[in-house]
Structure 1
Amino acid sequence: MTAYFQRLAPGRFHATPAVQGAWNIAEQHIAPALGLLTHAVETDRAARRDDDLHVARLSFDILGTMPIDEVRIDVRVLRPGRTIELVEATLDLRGRVAVILRAWLQKPGDTGSISGTALPRIRPRDDLEPWEGSVIWPGEFVRTVEARRLEISPGRAQYWLRPRVPLLAGEPISSTAAALSVLDIANGITPRLPPVAMAFPNLDTTVHLFERPRSDWIGYDTTVTFGTNGIGLTHTVLHDIHGPIGTAEQILTIRPR
């Protein structure tokens, strides 16, 4: 596969078979679409202004399943500002809004002299064994992701991921959009129960970034929790090769198969 998506026109893209999903192989895995929405927000920002606001928070609401087909993305500024903006992007498929992204963009500043975190670093990538997601998950998308994983217990793991294919054919993308194009796989890389026994799709993905990714490999320190009421949570601390860079949260709906 050459890419997850091909651009057809401004705001219009066609999904390739590389996005084939894991819960249903007739549908898209949501991860590449989240990367595409991120890229659309950054492209819109670059067309409107030249001060390179950083994407600090991305909150995606997933409104339904997505067949492997053409998608349309529209971007609008909800809260313009000189140093902070709130931007909304919607992904439409066959006349139906399938994903809504609201992103906070912030002007960067120099806080290097006071930077620091108590978040622990995860094990280096080379200390972990290669892992093939196709062992437990169907679909082409999982085969497009290179992974190295240490599973501490079902629902608890450290791992490193990077896509084997680009997000968009023939078009450069940022390290943030590249990371987002596979990030949603976090919910399936250390399942508490085998997916053949229990479905646990996520309704959203919310990412906070205090650093831009500075490497193509992104590290994940993930904990999956199932509550007593059919609701779960996948919590992840994100890393690049220099250390923690942010967090990701995904609320789950837990359903017997």
Structure 2
Amino acid sequence: MAYFDRLDETTFSPTGLVSGGWDPGEQHIAPALGLLAHAVETERGNGLQLARLSYDILGTLPIEPVRVHVEVLRPGRTIELVQATLSHSGRPAVLLRAWLLRAYDTVDLAGSSFPTVPGPDDMPVWDPDGTWSGEFVRSVEARRCQEEPGRAMSWVRTSVPLVGDEPVSATARALGLIDIANGLTPRRPTDQVAFPNVDLTVHLVGPPRSDWLGFDTTVTFGPTGLGLTHTVLHDTHGPLGVVSQSLTVRPRPS
């Protein structure tokens, strides 16, 4: 079973594996973000690579069919800006603006000063099912080394296809997982506070080269209901990019 099945050129049906952590009757937004990236790559097909993706999450999604629309805002042979919209019953639910850049051979220039993280074989297994509900978290394999609540290094992978019966790039598959960053190391128990993210922005320095996706994550809650989850992404070869998520932090009634 995949996270989504294609119904026609622009319509996709989610499966039960997308059910979310805050409400199992709603979609976890992670697979939907990967679906939008896949739609951009499929629609454009021009050899450009995803570099920055900025998602705005406009509302929750029931586990029902969604429609994807892609348009080019700034065409180009080496640089292009694309917008994609994921809608449910005619209502936009997620907006994506993505910069796509031409690939060049920069192997001899490659390098980073981001700190490395221990590999997945060097971290203990973590079961997110003890913290989160929904089938999406049960569909992933996770490792975690937590320094304290709100600060952890983790590895995540899944064997579940993003879209059934069609090829999906390693980048789109990874983008279907990265929203999980906000749930990898909660600062406070979820029965005390809700902290859903309203956006997600990722900057990439290359496509993933391993099934494991690494997260070096720090969660910050401010004093007025604002929060931030910031993550340095890795694959097993090194740093892959950075992800930031804006949070609405809401204390639950005691």
Q: Same fold (TM over 0.5)?
A: yes
Give the corresponding residue for 2:2: 3
Give the corresponding residue for 1:17: 16
Residue pairs, 1:1-257, within 5 angstroms: 2-46=1-45, 49=46, 52-257=47-252
- 1:164 Cα offset (Å): 3.0
Q: Distance in 2 between matches of 1:33 and 1:62?
A: 10
- 1:6 Cα offset (Å): 0.5
- Secondary structure of 1:123's counterpart equals coil
- 1:45 Cα offset (Å): 1.5
Residues 218-251 of structure 1: CA deviation (Å, up to 9, x unaligned): 1110000001111000000000111001000000
- Secondary structure of 2:36's counterpart equals helix
Structure 1-normalised TM-score? 0.97
Q: Distance in 1 between matches of 2:125 and 2:197?
A: 25
4+ residue runs of structure 1 moved beyond 6 angstroms?
Answer: none
Q: Distance in 2 between matches of 1:97 and 1:197?
A: 30
- 1:155 Cα offset (Å): 0.3
State the percentage of identical aligned residues.
60
Which residues of structure 2 form unaligned runs of 5+?
Answer: none
Q: Distance in 2 between matches of 1:195 and 1:176?
A: 30
- 1:172 Cα offset (Å): 1.1
- Secondary structure of 2:7's counterpart equals strand
Aligned residues: 252
Q: Distance in 1 between matches of 2:167 and 2:82?
A: 21
Which residues of structure 1 form unaligned runs of 5+?
Answer: none
- 1:114 Cα offset (Å): 2.0
Q: What is the one-letter code of the residue matched to 2:138?
A: R
Worse overlay, 217-226 or 108-117:
108-117
Q: What is the one-letter code of the residue matched to 1:78?
A: L
- 1:109 Cα offset (Å): 0.9
Residues 98-145 of structure 1: CA deviation (Å, up to 9, x unaligned): 000000000011222222111011011100011111101111110001
Q: Distance in 2 between matches of 1:137 and 1:73?
A: 28
- Secondary structure of 1:38's counterpart equals helix
Q: Distance in 2 between matches of 1:145 and 1:246?
A: 21
Q: Distance in 1 between matches of 2:98 and 2:82?
A: 5
Q: What is the one-letter code of the residue matched to 2:42?
A: T
Alpha-carbon RMSD: 0.7
- 1:168 Cα offset (Å): 0.7
Q: Distance in 2 between matches of 1:127 and 1:112?
A: 28
Q: What is the one-letter code of the residue matched to 1:13?
A: F
Structure 2-normalised TM-score? 0.98
- 1:57 Cα offset (Å): 0.4
Residues 149-199 of structure 1: CA deviation (Å, up to 9, x unaligned): 111110000011112311111111001111111110100110000111100
